[in-house]
Amino acid sequence: MDLSTLWRLQLNGNRISNLTSGLFHKLDSLQILDLSNNILRSIEAGTFDANVKLQALRLDSNGLTSIEELFTGLSNLMWLNVSTNAIVNFDYILLPVSLR
């Protein structure tokens, strides 16, 4: 199945606990990704590196403790929700400048 033109993916509420790098690497047209309301504890650095067209990302309502090194290279990301997590250290330097 060719998913190279998939632009929106909703995986909310699926009890996903972790994401590894390369997971979304064939989804190069992905613009909207919803991973909210899962049980995410960790997301490996580089997981979203191939998704340069990503504009909106929902990671809210999970159990994330860190978001470091997740958004490098996402220069088109305009909307990000990381609320209702367990993030220990938050620094605006971790966010892409494209966020509105």
Q: Which domains does the chain have, with CATH numbers?
A: 1-100 (3.80.10.10)
If pLDDT is split at 50, 70 and 90, which confidence band does 73 have? confident
For the sheet with 79-81, list strands across it. 8-10, 32-34, 56-58, 79-81
Task: With cut-offs at 50, 70 and 90, classify the pLDDT of residue 2.
Answer: confident
pLDDT digits (tens, 9 = 90+) for 5-64: 999 999 999 999 999 999 999 999 999 999 999 999 999 999 999 999 999 999 999 999
Residue with tokens 């490098």: 72
Record the pTM.
0.93
Structure tokens at 70: 């997740």
Report residue 18 as tokens.
Answer: 């972790």
